[in-house]
Amino acid sequence: MPQFNRLALVVSDSERAQDAAAIFAEITDWVPLEDAEAVVVIGGDGFMLQSLHTMLDSGRIIPAYGVNLGTVGFLMNRHRAPDKLLGRIARSRSLNIAPIKMEAITQDGECHRFCAINEISLLRETRQTAKIEVSVDGKVRIPELVCDGVLVATPAGSTAYNLSADGPILPLDSQLLALTPISPFRPRRWHGAILPDRSKIEFRVREADKRPISVVADQKELRNVASISLEIARDAELTLLFDPGHALDERIVAEQFLV
């Protein structure tokens, strides 16, 4: 079981989270994030993603325990009895997730690098359908995918946008990625692929001037891209802490039985 002597507290700007902030502030002597061994994140899934990205950008990654004061709270723990928070953290279960790292080249030749915890999505920018060449491990698998877009999701993100696009739900320990088309027109019968997470996936935008494409890595968007390559960032693993019986892998299994 994890034992942390120095905890940081970060709170979203939402009204609910701010209202609870004073109560959480009295629980312990919180330390600045840069001095902490773990961080307690108060808010919703969006704020948790934002907090994890802040750690990725800084290069200093510590375990994160989320308290849900948002809506869905898929990445969070249930909000209850703040005075017992420290005991729950001490009994929590740690779960490691690996983000996707992406390198994108825009039409003007600029190179941009982002990481995504849930998914990387390519989306058409205009009324024209997108035309995208899809390659896996250096081999062209689909010369021309005509669609509204395409996404690559991690197991942690497979129940988000990927599921809405009829992609598969992936168990957290599956070491897989979901490659899912968004409203595909051709090939009509292609519904996506499940790939080993060691795969390197590349997209090349065809007719980029006429059919511009944007790429979204979680909460970051880049427009007018020409090509994208992505793979798992094994040197940037993140750790989430969950209460016993409320772990993310159980939620992913449960999601498959919702009707």
45 is an active site residue = yes
The 10 Å Cβ neighbour count of residue 51 is 22
Give me the number of domains the chain comprises.
2
Answer yes or no: is 160 a known binding residue. Answer: yes
Report if residue 1 sits inside a domain: no
**pLDDT of the chain, 259 residues: tens digit per residue:** 567 889 999 999 999 999 988 899 999 999 999 999 999 999 999 999 999 999 999 888 999 999 999 887 888 999 988 889 999 999 999 889 999 999 999 999 999 999 999 999 999 999 999 999 999 999 999 999 999 999 999 998 998 899 999 999 998 888 999 999 999 999 988 999 999 999 999 999 999 999 999 999 998 999 999 999 999 999 899 999 999 876 677 777 777 777 6
Judge whether 227 lies within some domain.
yes
How many residues belong to the chain? Answer: 259
Q: Check whether residue 111 and residue 229 sit in a common domain.
A: yes
196 found inside a domain: yes
State yes or no: 247 annotated in a binding site: no
209 shares a domain with 244? no
Residues 214, 250 within the same domain: no
3-22 burial string, b = 16+ CB within 10 Å, else e?
ebeebbbbbbebebbeebee
Nearest alpha carbon to residue 131 among 146, 121, 143, 142? 146
Q: How far apart are CA 214 and CA 237, in angstroms?
A: 26
pTM, full prediction: 0.87
Q: Is residue 2 part of a domain?
A: no
Q: Does 162 appear as a known binding residue?
A: yes
Residue range of the domain that includes 163: 100-234
Residues 165, 180: Cα–Cα separation, whole Å: 7
- What's the CATH code of the domain at 161? 2.60.200.30
